[in-house]
Amino acid sequence: MTTDFLSLDELKQKIHALIAGLYPDSNPEQLTRACFDAIGPRLNKDVVAPERLWSERDTLLITYGNSLREAGHKPLDTLQNFLHEKLQGTFSAVHILPFFPHSSDDGFAVIDYTQVDPELGDWDDINALAQDFKLMADLVINHVSSQSLWFRNYQYGKDPGRDYFVEAAPNYDLSNVVRPRTSPLLRKTDTADGVKHVWCTFSHDQVDVDFRNEKVLLEYLRIIGRYLDEGAQWIRLDAVAFLWKELGTSCIHLRQTHDVVKLVRLLTEYKNAHALLISETNVPNRENLTYFGNSNEAHIIYNFSLPPLVIHALLAGDCTYLKSWMMSMPPPPVGCAYLNFTASHDGIGLRPAEGLLSEKELGEMLSTLESFGGKISSRTDAEGNAKPYEANISLFDAFKGTLNGTDKWQVERLIMSQAIMLSVEGIPAFYIHTLFATPNDYDKLETTGHNRSINRRNWSLSDLDARLSKPGGPGERVFNELTRLIKIRAAQPAFHPNATQFTLHIRPEIFAFWRQSMRRTQSIFCIFNLSDQAQELSLSDINLISTENWVDLISGQPVDDLYGKMVLQPYQNLWLTNYLGE
């Protein structure tokens, strides 16, 4: 339920109750008023029906502000121009990864949340993008840069920042803490009050803030208010699962973390009824689903299990694990949606595959990805052992071959992975390098020494133009076909993010499911040959209604014999529908 269906008094009561639970020593009435002051004046209070928050026309592009470069131009200008010239009418939303001054992790160690990195552009450039697209901005909410004003003030005992960070004694038992990294959790830091040890979930340049201090909450509400004022409409809560720290616990998914998300949602919707919260929680599937709450936490959650399962299915030529997962996935609650992706600026998360892929299947997949030039990053488990955390590889190179080795079907597998993503219940999100069939960037990997750099290439516009215009080249083939599929999808009501989805059972080589529009005017049978061999399909297996005319949206070919057989070529995609528009 959005705040537009609540009276202001009801909204204040909900916020008051959350604050009383989070900060029992505070004055809830006073802190509630402070929260409203921090988020700032309302921008939009129009009532938005849940089914209108998004539609089949919504597709998200994920990009760094400097993924594209052109001499003499600001990167954000270059991005804006490229979107207009090459992707006009293709994407409705753009996620610009952290565009703030930063000290490491390609933006995720934020020095100043209120400024745009001058190497990228300025707020006017962000505003311009927000005029043309639904803009997603990152709220890096768990940690700040060690070079930030807050952390420098912490070291000198000054405000703001003096009490903004989590301290722990180095001899305290922290073995229960869940970590996504292998670096030591605590950083030894000299301060005006002597040596302290501060909490660093990710790296020692990314120091965790202490949300147990209500002043930290108010700081981040002010930041959200600023982003919304600058035109952002979607707010991505980065690494939010680790937000609240309680010694003696796992410090992940704590009740207080979920309550902070509820609080942020209420205030964000109050500020702008069209604004959406997206949770970024790269964790096992069941844990990830908890961030919907009772339709009162994130509007959208990343479908983190999709990337490893799609990659495994295409490398193995077998949909068994992908199909089992899909059958187990609940429809999102009313007013909520999944964000589907297969590649991102990070690696391919492996924790979301826990309990879904066996150790044997996972090991075979990782060995194959390493043979294709990928790297494997690790985390430390509760016993202190290093465990695979993510695979670092460009999605294009992840499909160089199968578990049996390299072959000639790399482009076809990449396109199929995106066709599956476009078809599955939810909002599709494309990492910009997937559109270009960008290969592994070994030069950047060598320069930075960070595994994730392998999939964070910075294209010069001239080199990219050459790649996309080379007839028959992978860049041209992938870019043209993916943009074509996106535009086809946008006209299909059965691809609404919340339209019905039903898994079909054919055989391991053929992944298939059915989508039906919310008004039941359209059905689409999504069928994918995951193998490098032609596969015969009996149309009786999918039970097409004989009183209607059916056509494949992708090829444009009609289905002439509803009781006959079709031969699917290696890695062929089908969108069989009974609806060609009004």
Angle (nearest 5°) at CA 297 between 296 and 298: 125
- Which token pair is 187? 């950083």
463 is an active site residue: no
Helix (H) or strand (E) holding 86: helix 75-86
Which of 504, 527, 525 shows the shortest CA–CA distance to 579?
525
The helix/strand/coil state of 54 is coil
For residue 258, say whether it is annotated as part of any ligand binding site.
no
For residue 105, say whether it is annotated as part of any ligand binding site.
yes
Q: How many CB atoms lie within 10 A of CB 216?
A: 20
3-state helix, strand, coil in the chain (%, to 5): 35, 20, 40
Helix (H) or strand (E) holding 363: helix 359-371
Cβ–Cβ < 8 Å for 441, 392: no
Write the burial class of residue 103 (CB in 10 Å: 0-12 exposed, 13-18 middle, 19+ buried): middle
- Which token pair is 50? 């849940």
For residue 222, say whether it is annotated as part of any ligand binding site.
no
Longest dimension (CA), the chain: 81
**Torsion-angle region of residue 335: left (phi > 0), alpha (psi -120 to 50) or beta?**
left
The partner residues of 110 in beta bridges, in order of sequence, read 102
Residue matched to tokens 């990710």: 202
- Which token pair is 74? 């600001």
Report the C-alpha gap between 487 and 514 in whole angstroms: 20
Q: How many CB atoms lie within 10 A of CB 181?
A: 16
The helix/strand/coil state of 116 is coil
Report the C-alpha gap between 559 and 421 in whole angstroms: 24
- Which token pair is 385? 């052992």
For residue 286, how far is the Cα from the chain centroid? 17
For residue 345, say whether it is annotated as part of any ligand binding site.
yes
Report the C-alpha gap between 500 and 558 in whole angstroms: 24
Report the C-alpha gap between 25 and 13 in whole angstroms: 18
- Which token pair is 49? 């029906």
Report the C-alpha gap between 456 and 479 in whole angstroms: 18
Angle (nearest 5°) at CA 193 between 190 and 198: 50
Report the C-alpha gap between 142 and 240 in whole angstroms: 6
For residue 46, how far is the Cα from the chain centroid? 27
For residue 4, say whether it is annotated as part of any ligand binding site.
no
For residue 452, say whether it is annotated as part of any ligand binding site.
yes
Single-letter amino acid code for the residue at 554: I
The helix/strand/coil state of 368 is helix
Kind of pairing, strands 143-145 and 68-69? unpaired
Q: What is the CA radius of gyration of the chain?
A: 24
Q: Which of 138, 238, 318, 441 is catalytic?
A: 238
Q: Going by C-beta distance under 8 Å and a sequence separation of 6 or more, which residues neighbour residue 228?
A: 40, 43, 235, 268, 271, 272, 275
Cβ–Cβ < 8 Å for 67, 433: yes
For residue 102, say whether it is annotated as part of any ligand binding site.
no
Active site positions, annotated: 238
